[in-house]
Chain A
């Protein structure tokens, strides 16, 4: 008996150690990025475009990457929601709860969720070549849209699945069609739509491998969908591979901006989830 208690204690210590280790990783990642990047971050960097000689350490900033990322993320999130809300609605209202098709569809979205973004990028690239398109903002938006659709669908679907059938039937009994119950469904899953959106924005803004193939890179802010565009992760990646310290400094500064955005997103996601899930039935 005593032995069992000693073993219990040992494992418990190991569990504490594992949590301490994870805590250490989180702190270490954020601290190292901020410690290196924050001192070199300046207003000029986030508010100006790369000037002449930017890549050998002359003046300028990475506004092009910030705005490029916003364009890609904004476009992709909008398109993604446009596709995924109807799909979630279809899966949960039009299909029967134990429909075979629904089950296969959910499996497929789970699998798509697991496909790495570099494969999306390579696939998007072949498609673009096939249609004679060049790397552009549009290409980036399309690939990132494809990348986040499975996340949007599956995370909204998890919540939509829990909508009681009675609620829909109450709607039908009042004479509403299936399509009209969409307002009930959307209201029920509103917090899930919000968190799914934040989740996919986080994934979209951090994606580098997909946009590398399809959006290219550029020193200016794109004025049309057919122009190439920069993005924050790629701006970090490309500038870090430069030998000049000044250029690397800017990469670290861009990393701080990216980390800060992602931190805000993930914390507000949790906040929304805990705050608004009370109104659900």
Chain B
């Protein structure tokens, strides 16, 4: 049993080492700085610039968080500070469903609902032409996928605050919202930030839903109505042809390594903060 435990833990190390070793060839050929800041992606002529993909990932993740954070925060506050148990009984299954839906279904939804909405309603109202496969559509789809995670983390954090804090605030005449804003949120701020970082790491790695709505154009998006090409989409779209060129394979594994590394750091940080909050 100890062996099983330890070997399953070594998976983290194995992943780090395995992906790193695979990305060594590309790092020998190009400097890390060049890889991250160059904008040209032409594997066949030995040009590997990850900048557009990094920017694509950054934009869609920020947009997704911008959409998901207010909604999840308000919902979690309502469920912990206001709602009766009867309400929770109906809302929690909804969150379960949202959390359980596969990525590809979100992608289908994005193609059926969000992309046409962006192309036919949002873009014309801004006097722009757009296929709908944009940063905006990707951000919305990604945002919805992380709402259940954020809500459940927020609820856990808020429920950890002792009832006496709330009662103290109420007895001083504070309204529920004042209590929430000045007592609960202030007290749980580190946990809230940790939850957001965790959700951010989730948006970075989402693959199939993103490929289906992002447009897959290797450009640095200039607006919400431009297409983009986040890193997971790059890896998944090209794994088939990457074997044709050793350096190409190495480049994609390097992309996977970056993803792994960032997600690892984000997760370590937020899990440690969340754990500290829980034990207090």
* A interface residues (Cβ-Cβ under 8 A, vs B): 4-5, 7-8, 11-12, 14-19, 21-23, 25-26, 28-30, 32-33, 36, 83, 86-87, 89-91, 94, 104-105, 107-112, 114-123, 125-127, 146, 149, 153, 199, 202, 205-209, 212-213, 233-234, 236-237, 240, 251-252, 255, 258-259, 262-263, 265-267, 269-270
Q: Does B245 contact A (CB under 8 A)?
A: no
B70 proximity list for chain A (CB < 8 A) = 18
Contact of B232 among A17, A116, A266 (CB under 8 A): A116
Closest to A274 in B: B89
Contact B1 A86 (CB under 8 A): yes
Inter-chain contacts of B96 with A (CB < 8 A):
266-267, 269-270
Partner of B75, one of A22, A120, A146, A255: A22
Which among A7, A25, A116, A205 is the interface contact of B263 at CB below 8 angstroms? A116
Decide if A28 touches B109 in the complex (CB within 8 Å): yes
* CB closest residue in chain A, given B175: A8
Instruction: Give A15's nearest chain B residue, CB to CB.
Output: B78
Is B9 in the interface zone, CB < 8 Å from A?
yes
Q: Which residues B147-181 have CB closer than 8 A to chain A?
A: 147, 151, 175-178
What 8 A-B pairs have minimum CB-CB distances, sorted nearest first? A116-B205, A206-B102, A266-B100, A122-B256, A18-B74, A15-B78, A209-B207, A90-B1
Partner of A149, one of B8, B175, B252, B256: B8
Q: Known contacts A110-B271, A114-B201, A116-B263: does B5 contact A206 (CB below 8 Å)? A: no
6 example contacts (A-B, Cβ-Cβ < 8 A) are as follows A16-B78, A87-B8, A118-B232, A122-B239, A126-B18, A153-B8
In the bound complex, do residue A11 and residue B177 qualify as a contact, i.e. CB atoms below 8 Å apart? yes
State the CA gap A14–B198 with chains docked (Å): 25
Q: Which residues of A contact B62 (CB under 8 A)?
A: none
Is B208 a contact partner of A22 (Cβ separation < 8 A)? Answer: no
Q: Are B175 and A117 in contact (CB under 8 A)?
A: no
Name the A residues within 8 Å of B74 (CB-CB). 11, 14-15, 17-18
Known A15-B78, A29-B106, A111-B268; judge A126-B253 contact (CB<8 A): yes
Q: Which B residues from 186 to 219 make CB contacts under 8 A with A?
A: 198, 201-202, 204-208, 211-212
Contacts of A206 in B (CB 8 A): 100-105
What A residues does B177 contact at CB under 8 A?
Answer: 4, 7-8, 11-12
Complex CA–CA separation, A112 to B259 (angstroms): 13
Contact indicator A33/B93 (Cβ below 8 Å): no
Interface SS, A side: helix
Q: A4-B178, A233-B104, A262-B105 are in contact. Are A123 and B256 (CB under 8 A)?
A: yes
Cα distance A12–B106 when bound, in Å? 29
Q: 20 new A-B pairs (CB below 8 Å) besides A115-B263, A202-B102, A205-B102?
A: A5-B175, A12-B78, A12-B177, A18-B74, A32-B109, A87-B5, A91-B5, A109-B9, A114-B201, A115-B205, A118-B259, A121-B236, A122-B19, A123-B15, A153-B8, A206-B105, A259-B101, A266-B93, A266-B96, A269-B96
What is the bound-complex CA distance between A7 and B268, given in angstroms?
38
Query: For the complex, would chain B's binding face be called helix, strand, loop or mixed by DSSP majority?
Result: helix
Q: Across the interface, do B108 and A108 meet the contact criterion of CB distance under 8 Å? A: no
B121 contacts chain A at the CB level, 8 A cutoff: no
Q: Which residues on the B side are within 8 Å of A30 (C-beta)?
A: 97
Q: Which residue of B lies closest to A202 (CB)?
A: B100
Tell me whether A255 and B108 are in contact (CB under 8 A).
Answer: yes
Residue of A8, A25, A91 with most chain B CB atoms under a 10 A cut-off: A25
Residue of B nearest to A87 (CB): B5
Is the pair B208, A28 in contact by a Cβ cutoff of 8 Å? no
Which residues of chain A are near B9, meaning CB under 8 Å?
104-105, 108-109
- Interchain CA distance A90-B138 in the complex, whole Å: 42
The distance in angstroms between the C-alpha atoms of A28 and B93, with both chains bound, is 16
Closest Cβ neighbor of B147 among chain A residues: A22
Which A residues are CB-close (under 8 A) to B263? 114-116, 119
> Given that A32-B113, A83-B8, A126-B18 are known contacts, is A255 also in contact with B104, CB under 8 Å in the complex?
yes
For the complex, is B235 an interface residue (Cβ under 8 Å from A)?
yes
Q: Of B71, B101, B102, B271, which is within 8 A of A107 by CB? A: B271
Nearest residue, chain B, Cβ from A262:
B100
| A36 and B112 within 8 A (CB) | yes
Instruction: Across the interface, name the chain B residue whose C-beta is closest to A149.
Output: B8
Given contacts A105-B5, A126-B19, A258-B104, contact A111 B264 (CB under 8 A): yes
72-102 of chain B: CB within 8 A of chain A: 72, 74-75, 77-78, 82, 91-102
